[in-house]
Amino acid sequence: MGALLEEGRQRLLGKTDQPSQEAQILLSHSSGLTHAQIIANPDHSLSEKSTADFTGLIDRRVNGEPIAYLCGAREFWSLKLTVSKDVLIPRPETELLVERTLIRMALWESPVVADLGTGSGAVALALAKESPPTRIIATDRSDDALGIARQNSQQLGINNVEFYCGRWFDALGPKLKSRINIIASNPPYVMEGDPHLLQGDLPWEPRQALISGRDGLAAFGTIISEAPRWLTPSGWLLLEHGPAQQDHVRVLMEEAGFLEITGHSDLAGLPRVTEGQLPPPCG
């Protein structure tokens, strides 16, 4: 096993920043052994099937396929989520959106919360995990993505998230108009042709989860302009965006009538989440 691991590591050199760690993850995934078992038993030989599986995974990784898709899982907010090529791989910086949304959720006893464009369900399920009595609505225009999100909610034993298929607010029934207290979204916000799309895991991820028109702002335009019709008075809208998009998002929120607009930076110090509140009820 030690020699196989070393061979895998060698093949990953120059293909990834973490060849040792990734070779171990893939060996663990193909053998069913823990990292500790692998390290402690270098002379143990693997079955033919596990060896072939490992070699196949290393081939795919050398070809650039994301480690999360190869293992079918990614951790987010301490939740082990199933992921497939139908969903964006949850990013650590999106935990900032969860943190900020939880702070706003605490303003209500039992808020109604919507996560638009849920993908794997990462944001909705993290929110649900932290606040079980809440009603959480998660939408996506992709049926395949919703299949993964539903699977994640079942695996995690979370049963207070409702899933609806459709593009942004089209997924919601008319009964929800003016009924949602908080909308959180990590929509696509990369612009067409952005060189970033050719790097790392991005070439393998669903285009519609990443790209939003020529300027990367199309989804923000729709979500921000329509959100006031779905939110209650004093309701909050929280959006993840690219580091250079904060000013655009702020202006769109101002135009839509949001107040208290505030931006928040991720652990790298980059502005990544902007939130705003609708005015309180009249009178």
Q: In this structure, what token pair is assigned to residue 123?
A: 């944001």
3-state secondary structure 102-137: HHHHCCCCCCEEEEECCCCCHHHHHHHHHCCCCEEE
Binding mask 100-139 for ligand GLN (x = CB under 6 A): ----------------------------------------
> What does DSSP say about strands 180-185 and 231-240: parallel, antiparallel, or unpaired?
parallel
All residues at 6 or more sequence positions from 214 whose CB lies less than 8 Å from its CB, including other chains: 191, 192
Task: Name which of 147 and 200 has its Cβ closer to ligand GLN.
Answer: 200
Binding mask 42-81 for ligand GLN (x = CB under 6 A): ----------------------------------------
**Residue 91 within binding range of ligand GLN, rule CB under 6 A:** yes
The only residue of 90, 111, 188, 235 in contact with ligand GLN, by rule CB under 6 A: 188
- The size of the interface with ligand GLN (CB under 6 A), counted in residues, is 9
CA distance 195 to 269: 22
* Rg of the chain taking only CA atoms, in angstroms: 21
3-class DSSP state of 181: strand
Kindly state the smallest distance separating residue 89's Cβ from ligand GLN, in Å.
Answer: 9
Please, are residues 31 and 46 in contact by the beta-carbon 8 Å criterion?
yes
**Residue 264 within binding range of ligand GLN, rule CB under 6 A:** no
Binding mask 167-186 for ligand GLN (x = CB under 6 A): -------------------x
C-alpha to C-alpha distances, 221 to 119, 187, 226, nearest whole angstrom: 20, 11, 8
**Residue 142 within binding range of ligand GLN, rule CB under 6 A:** no
CA distance 71 to 60: 11
Binding mask 6-45 for ligand GLN (x = CB under 6 A): ----------------------------------------
Segment lying near ligand GLN (by CB under 6 A), choices 37-45, 62-70, 158-166, 189-197 = 189-197
Which run of H or E residues covers position 144? Answer: helix 143-155
The only residue of 210, 223, 237, 253 in contact with ligand GLN, by rule CB under 6 A: 210
* Residues in contact with ligand GLN by the rule CB under 6 A: 91, 186-190, 196, 202, 210
